[in-house]
Structures are given as structure tokens and as C-alpha cells.
Structure 1
Amino acid sequence: MQYNLSFYSLLITQLSTNLAFSFYTMALTYYVYNLTNSVFYSSLITFISVGSKILSGLSISIITERIKVKSLLTFNTIFQILSIILLLIFIKNSANLIIIYALIMFLSFVNGIFTPLKSRILKENLDKENMAKGLSIITSLDQILLFSGWILGAWIISMIGNNNLLVLSLVLLSLAFIAVINIKIENKKEEINSKNPIRTIMSSFSLLNRKPLIRNLIVIECLEVLIGSIWIGSVTLKFVQEHLGQDVTWWGYINANYYLGTIFGAFVVMKYSKLFNHQPIKKIVIFMMLYGILLILYSVNVIDIIALFLVLLVGPVLQIKDIIQETFIINNIDEKDMIKITGLKNSLVQVSFLFSILIVGYITDHIEIQYIYTISGIITCIIAVIFSKFSKIKKLHI
């Protein structure tokens, strides 16, 4: 299939925006840590970033009722560019940390708006048959850049300093702005449900509740995220050291293999997109079960080489399942409801992630590390079985 200019412009926007996000997050974390010598103050950047994305997801329906979609897409990129410029100025003049945190909050808020807009753009520019393939192209390239971005970011900081990493983020966002101009999307405001912002947000919940299968797919994603922080750095490091008995080098190997697996998974969907378009719910359940089984095997294994192999398998299984799931959601939501539902979905997922870090972090301190993966695998299998029965009862009622 030949993709149109809007798709390629969206691709450039996604890649450059996400790479810029990883770059300026690294730069600011490094700056705050050097300034305060505090893990707490530097980790606040991640907390503020996630919290701001939750707010943007919840308020997207309010915003799109007042600002035209294409205009919002353009302003979104401009605001990020201006925020980076202000950060450069304030950092150069050793501004108070509160100002830095406020700009991070604003940056993350406007960055979080892009994801629901992306779903709307894909809905308008790709048909159902090519949605999975288009998503896999974006996902695979995005994963490659994010994977290399953290390595490049650390290297750039060590070579030329964190301020120049912010400058590079500014260049990437400028590229995103040029690409945004070429994106074709209907430029109109969303239909106003209520002048009361709270009622507008609640209407998104009501809309989601009328789509039981979509609702439950989102619930599943939230549950997966809730038990999914087993893959964050501190947990995998402890697993490598205490369970596998290896040093920090193997921590890097595990992370690298996971990302390589996700990239491979995206390419598999790209190659066999028609296959994955057939009976998507059944395939989501199958890949969830596979993921749960792999987690259980990973938790009981003590051989490092086998652990690498299992993680390499986890990557594509998760990635394929996620692409099938996102494709199904986008294909089965009306354009007029796309921004509201995907914005709400992103907020719920981010809330789950925050709780996940707290829950998994607490449990990890009280039980042996391998059991975290065992519990996660068992819960995943249970969720898959319950969802399978639910989808059969509902007969794919969306």
C-alpha cells in the first residue's frame, strides 16, 4: 500500500516528538540531580510528567470542544518549542527549581495531548485493512528511536553537556512542527456536550460505558500496566543480581533483548497484517496467555542465557498483542468519539502506571524478586481467561 503525505508527516511528528521528549527528560533529570544531588528531586520529573499526562488525557475532550483539532495540533508543537526555549534561558540563569518543574508540567501536558490526536489522524487517513500495518510501522520505528535515544542522550550529555541535549530537542520539535503542517485532519471543534468541564469529562466515561468490549479492552490494558512495572529498571536490576546472580552488565542485556523483541514484533505485524486483522479478539487472548506463560517460565528459570531468550520472546508477544488491540480500538470507534475515548484511555493507563510503581515497589521489598514475575504471569493468564469468556458472551458487541 502507498501511504499518503499525512501518514508520513504523522510518522515524522511522532518520531521527532518522542525522541525530543526522551532527550529533554534526560537533560532535565541530569540537571536537577547535579543541582540538588538528590534522587528524590530528580525523580519528581517523572512523577510530574506522568501526572501531567493524566490531566491532559482527562481534559482533552474539554480542549477539543473549544479549539479546532488541526489548530490544536499546531499550537501543541509551538507550545513545546517555546517551553524548551524558556527552559534553556532559565537553566542558563540558574532559575528556581519550581520554575523548572512548572515548565516540565506544561511540556508533559501538551505532549500528552498528541496521542489521542494521533489516533484521530490515523482513523481519518487509514482504512481498517491497513490500520495494523500502519501502526506497526510507526511503533517499530518509534521503538528503535526510543531504544537508541536513551543511549545517544547519555552519550551527548557526557560529550557536550545537557544544555546541548535541550538544543537538540528544540531542533527535533522544529522538525515536528514542519511535519504537522502537512498533516491532513478535519479542522473543526468537537461537539459540545456541556459547558460544565466536570460533566464533559463524565460524558467520556458514559460514552466508554456504552461500548462494553472497548471498555474491557481498556480495563485489561490498565490491569496489564498495573502489574507491568516488573520491567522497570530497579525491578529488573534486582532480578538480575539476586535471582540470576549476574552483574549490572546483564541488566543491560535483559533490557536490550526486551526492546529488540518489541521491534521484531512490530515488523512481524507489518509483514503479516492481514493475518492479525482476522479474529483480533481471539488473537489478543492467545498472546495474553503466551505472555503470562513466558512470565512464569522467566520467574522459575535461573540460567542467564535462557532468561535472555525468554525476554527476547516476551518482546514480540507483547508488541503484537498491543498493536492488535490498538488497531481494534481505533477501527471500532467513530471519528467523533475517537479523541474523547483515547484521551480517557491514556489517562487511565497513566494512573495505573503510577499505582503500579508504588504497588510493585512495595511488594518487591517484602517477597523474593522472582515471585513478582510469577504472580504477574498468573494474573495475566487469569485476565486472559476471564476476557475470553466475556467476549464470547457479548458476541463482539462494541
Structure 2
Amino acid sequence: MPVLLLVSALSFLDGWTTPSRNSLVPRLVGSDSGLMKANGMLSVSDQIVQFAGWGLSGVVVVLIGTSNTMLAAAAIYGLAASLTLRIHETAVESNGGEKSPARSNRNILIEGWQLIWRVPRLRILTFMDVSDMIANSVWAGAFLLVYVQQVLERGDEWWGFINAAYFSGTLLGGIIVVSLVEKLSCRIYSYMLVGMIGYSLFIYLFAFNQSPWLALLFVVLCGPFAELAMVSHKTLLQRSLDKARLPQLFSAQNVLLNLFFCLSLLGMAWIAETFGIVPLFVFAACLTSLTVVIGLLSYKVFHRAEETGQESASTL
């Protein structure tokens, strides 16, 4: 029980991290192209850590033991916290520089949900994010392991190979996004759709493939498209609202995404058990394709928003 309580406390505190970071980045970066570049660089650093973690964590546990590994992780968290304290953000005012009126805690709590519901482009991006989150749950370790055993007919080590291939692909994608940021930031919504189309295509190919080496290739090629879609999507959200209201937006969205991720794992498990692992990956690709269709149908909303600025979000 103490271990479960500690894990719950860690998850609770970890739930503060993503909304805070996504809200902080626009306050520290000036231009729109700089914002997309910052998101890309952060994504690259995340993928490097995850890629290295998959390969080194087992070695570290073997060398120094589980207890010492946990202590080392705690020390790294402490170092991260000390570095975070060195960040100094400037005060942000909403509504075009006017000071926001005093708001009750209740209004602050529900404001993020109101923004998602009332602002068309936020509602569309959040719906796309939820659909993408459900589709991405197919990459959970248990599903991928079943795919390796039943479809590829290989040993458990190929599960690790595929995970490493995916992270290397996303790392490559992050580097590409950062290097082409000036071009991508001009038509960010269109490139987001391109990323989602490419991502869904390679999931289709991955689902129907039975060659282990082609599986690795398809997973690597998934990475750049997934990274292009993710960085573009995050940048669009950050540009869709004034900076003072971003914490409420990302907090509400984080709750929504985590809720649907938990439910999607149950749903995906039922699909895999009932229909098989290949239909599961086909279903994930169909969900991503549906998200692309919604994005294409909503193109005019984002085109108008780019012409009118943030008026729809600022007048709430």
C-alpha cells in the first residue's frame, strides 16, 4: 500500500509538469517561428532521454541495483528542479495588455473547459488531440509485445528493437522540424495534416506487415511524421490563445487526455482480445485518418483565425 500511495503522489505531481511547461514556453519565446523551434528542440531532448533510457536503464539497474537506481533518479529530479528555479518569466497580462479582473477560484478552475468548448479552433484541436491519444495507445507495451509474438513470430527482444526504432524515428523527426522551422511555421496547420497523413499511412503498412525488418523500417518512418504533427499541434494550441490563459487551457486538456488514455487502454484491450492484434492497429490507423478528415473539414476555421488573430479567444 505505501508503494501505491507513493506512485499515486508521483503521478499527481507529474500532472503539473506538462501543462506548466506547455504554458511556460510561449512566455519565454518571442516570435512564432521561435516558438515552433523551441517546441521542436524540447521534443528532441525528450526523445534523446527516452531513447537513452530504454537502453541504459536496464544496464544501470544491473550495475548498481534497484535502490541505488531510484536514489539516482531522485537526484536527477532534484537537479532538474534546481535548474527550473533559474528560469525567470516576465509577467503576462491578458486581453491585449489590460489587467484581468479578479476572478474566483471556481472561475479559474472552469475557465479552461469553457475555452475548449467556446473557441472553435481550440475545440477542434482538442478533439483531434483526444482522437490521436486514443490511436497512440496502440503503442502500449502489451499490445506491441503481442504483435511481435503473433504477427512477426519473433522473440521478446524485437519488442525492444521496435521501441528503439520508434524513438530514433521521432528523434530524427524533431531534428528535421527544427532545421525546417522557418518554412514550416508559415503553413503550420497544413504541415500538421501532412504529418498525420504520413503517420496513419505507415500504421496501416505496419499492421499488415509480417516482416520484422520492414516493421522496423515502418516504425522509424512513422517517427518523423508523428513528430511533425505533434510539434505543429502544440504550437497551434499555444498560438490560439493569449499567454495568460494558457495554463487553464493546458490543465483542462491534460485532464481530458489522461482520462481518455485510461479508457482507451481498456477499449484497445477489448478490441485486441475480441478481434486480434492486426485489427487493433488498423483501428488505430482509421482513428488517425478520421482525425485528418476532421482537420481538412475544419481548414477554413484556422484560415480565418490566422487572418483575424486571437479575437475569438480573447473576447471570452
TM-score by length of 2: 0.88
Q: Aligned match of 1:289 in 182, 187, 197?
A: 197
Cα-Cα RMSD:
2.0
Q: Aligned match of 2:67 in 163, 186, 189?
A: 163
Secondary structure of the residue that 1:184 maps to in structure 2?
A: coil
Secondary structure of the residue that 1:376 maps to in structure 2?
A: helix
Q: Tell me what 1:312 maps to.
A: 220
CA–CA distance in structure 2, aligned partners of residues 393 and 159 of structure 1: 55
1:371–1:283 Cα change, 3 Å: same
Q: Tell me what 1:359 maps to.
A: 267
The Cα of 1:188 is off from its aligned counterpart by 8.6
The Cα of 1:289 is off from its aligned counterpart by 1.5
Check whether the contact 1:243–1:302 (CA below 8 A) recurs between aligned residues: yes
CA–CA distance in structure 2, aligned partners of residues 193 and 308 of structure 1: 52
The Cα of 1:191 is off from its aligned counterpart by 6.5
1:222–1:185 Cα change, 3 Å: same
Secondary structure of the residue that 1:365 maps to in structure 2?
A: helix
Q: Tell me what 1:106 maps to.
A: 9
The Cα of 1:155 is off from its aligned counterpart by 2.1
Where in structure 2 are there 5+ consecutive unaligned residues? 94-99, 311-316
Q: Which amino acid counterpart does residue 194 of structure 1 have in structure 2?
A: S
CA–CA distance in structure 1, aligned partners of residues 250 and 14 of structure 2: 14
Matches within 5 A, 1:129-278: 129-186=33-90, 192-196=102-106, 199-278=107-186
Q: Aligned match of 1:372 in 245, 257, 280?
A: 280
CA–CA distance in structure 1, aligned partners of residues 131 and 246 of structure 2: 22
1:252–1:277 Cα change, 3 Å: same
Q: Which amino acid counterpart does residue 173 of structure 1 have in structure 2?
A: Y
Q: Deviations over 1:331-379 (max 9, x none)?
A: 2221110100011111111111101111101110111211111122122
1:334–1:394 Cα change, 3 Å: closer
1:274–1:340 Cα change, 3 Å: same
The Cα of 1:267 is off from its aligned counterpart by 0.3
The Cα of 1:255 is off from its aligned counterpart by 1.1
Secondary structure of the residue that 1:121 maps to in structure 2?
A: helix
Q: Deviations over 1:156-188 (max 9, x none)?
A: 222222211121122212212321221011469
The Cα of 1:394 is off from its aligned counterpart by 5.9
**Structure 1, 233-242 or 187-196: larger mean CA deviation:** 187-196
Q: Which amino acid counterpart does residue 112 of structure 1 have in structure 2?
A: G
Check whether the contact 1:121–1:184 (CA below 8 A) recurs between aligned residues: no
CA–CA distance in structure 1, aligned partners of residues 105 and 28 of structure 2: 31
Q: Aligned match of 1:336 in 237, 244, 247?
A: 244
Check whether the contact 2:194–2:225 (CA below 8 A) recurs between aligned residues: no
Runs (4 or more) in structure 1 with deviation over 6 Å come to 187-191
Q: Which amino acid counterpart does residue 162 of structure 1 have in structure 2?
A: T
Q: Which amino acid counterpart does residue 207 of structure 1 have in structure 2?
A: L
Q: Which amino acid counterpart does residue 176 of structure 2 have in structure 1?
A: V
CA–CA distance in structure 1, aligned partners of residues 70 and 171 of structure 2: 27
Matches within 5 A, 1:35-74: none
The Cα of 1:393 is off from its aligned counterpart by 5.1
Check whether the contact 1:227–1:360 (CA below 8 A) recurs between aligned residues: no
Check whether the contact 1:285–1:385 (CA below 8 A) recurs between aligned residues: no
- Taking every aligned residue pair, what percent have the same amino acid on both sides? 23
Q: Tell me what 2:314 maps to.
A: none
Secondary structure of the residue that 2:138 maps to in structure 1?
A: helix
Q: Tell me what 1:22 maps to.
A: none
The size of the alignment, in residue pairs, is: 299
Q: Are 1:126 and 2:65 matched, yes or no? A: no
